[in-house]
Structure 1
């Protein structure tokens, strides 16, 4: 013998299904929030900026190291120039004077070369410092935008959670009025097929959106009001009301 339930108890399933549908929609909205996607996009942007900052810092440090080497080489050459000038002032040997003058000329050329290199490297350091400053500024701006986006996301999530709690409480109230066996069947069909109850309205099943054929309609008409029957298309419990067109 099939399950039986009073028509008014079966009608409660339509309320229950409405709550479950709204809860499903709410869960979908929570999973697909544009505000959450915005936070994720900003996080990805931040990751990219931090990677860029790390790379730029490495390049800048390399340029600073190169500048330090060039400055050290310039200092060595200038020290040798000062030493040779002092030796030149102190010697009276023509041979030594000629040798020192030649070395001083070579050192002067070397210093000029190094100073040109030093200028180029200094420009590189300044360029890298500018790039670093721009990336740091972008990160600072991103932090502010991220804080705003997180606040917006959390506000929406909070509202959705409050709505979920409200719907869940109302659902539990309705579920508590449904006979246990009928509720168990509803939950079973909903878990298996996605919909637990379908309203037969004007001969059309709300769950499937399909009109019952003549044979199925005759079967429904022949059923007692307290018979619990399933929709032939959606397998949800088919709830009959005054709107069913029977």
Structure 2
């Protein structure tokens, strides 16, 4: 499409599905072929700026780090449950050990009383109590062995969960460091491309730059016309449109009838 600045409505880019007239013109938008080619550099820089901006706002590691954070939360909740079970078993062992100590103290006391007793009835009672205490101690020791076995399993379960969390933390730490570096690199690329864009834009005429900037708010600002195809949208232009473009003077700014980008013509355009 050839541009005509005399019609303000023609500043709008063609909408998808809307037919455009091949000879629409902006007669006042004139620029040398060299200036028009600079628009390709500008479009490339705008693409670089957009990519760098996206990369610094959402580094490639971000999604995995979010997954790891969620996974660590799940593992930490399970670890809390396992720690609680382990601590309960430790408390149970301490209770059993306390009961064993009470039994041992009573056995020692009764044994002393039995050794000092001369009363057969009293001695018989003490012997019966000692036998009962012996059975009680055996029961406590059996219970302690059972709890100790379960505690060993609980300790292993806790260690296993802690190892999983350590792996998550290690991977998360590595990815976080990589992500920070990626953000720093993307920020540097963004700032450099922004500086380069300012320098490139400064070498382009105000009218042409203004047209490009208006178009770039909606679509790619400019694209090379290569062998009859607009490289901004990869659409092949019709014969009618190509014929109109052939008739345009070199300093006439032409836009794509499909996407509205400025079409930069070179010896590769196939005209």
Name the TM-score class by shorter chain.
0.7 to 0.9
- Are the equivalent residues in 1 in contact too, given 2:255–2:261 (CA < 8 A)? yes
SS in 1 for 2:223: strand
SS in 2 for 1:192: coil
Query: Residues 213 and 141 of structure 1: is their aligned pair in 2 closer, same or farther, counting only changes over 3 Å?
Result: closer
Matches of 1:121 and 1:184 in 2, distance apart?
81
Aligned pair 1:190/2:185, yes or no? no
Of 222, 244, 258 in structure 2, the residue corresponding to residue 233 of structure 1 is 258
Of 37, 43, 67 in structure 1, the residue corresponding to residue 93 of structure 2 is 67
Aligned pair 1:179/2:205, yes or no? yes
**Structure 2, gaps ≥5 residues long:** 1-5, 7-25
Matches of 2:234 and 2:166 in 1, distance apart?
53
Q: 1:56 corresponds to which residue? A: 82
Matches of 2:153 and 2:235 in 1, distance apart?
69
Matches of 2:167 and 2:224 in 1, distance apart?
54
Q: 1:81 corresponds to which residue? A: 107
Shift of the alpha carbon at 1:148? 4.2
Q: 1:202 corresponds to which residue? A: 227
Aligned pair 1:110/2:133, yes or no? no
Shift of the alpha carbon at 1:116? 0.7
Which moved further from structure 2: 71-80 or 11-20?
71-80
Matches of 1:108 and 1:60 in 2, distance apart?
29
Shift of the alpha carbon at 1:169? 1.3
Matches of 2:115 and 2:242 in 1, distance apart?
123
Post-superposition Cα deviations, 1:118-158, rounded to whole Å, max 9, x if no partner, equal: 12212333333344445445555665555444444444443
**Structure 1, gaps ≥5 residues long:** none
Of 150, 154, 163 in structure 2, the residue corresponding to residue 128 of structure 1 is 154
**As a proportion of its length, which structure holds more helix?**
1
Q: What are the equivalent positions in structure 2 for 1:97-176 lying under 5 Å apart?
A: 97-136=123-162, 139=165, 143=169, 146-176=172-202
Matches of 1:36 and 1:228 in 2, distance apart?
43
Aligned pair 1:17/2:43, yes or no? yes
Q: 2:121 corresponds to which residue? A: 95
Matches of 1:169 and 1:189 in 2, distance apart?
21
Q: 1:220 corresponds to which residue? A: 245
Shift of the alpha carbon at 1:238? 2.1
Superposed CA RMSD in Å reads: 3.0
TM-score using structure 2 length: 0.75
Query: Residues 210 and 145 of structure 1: is their aligned pair in 2 closer, same or farther, counting only changes over 3 Å?
Result: closer
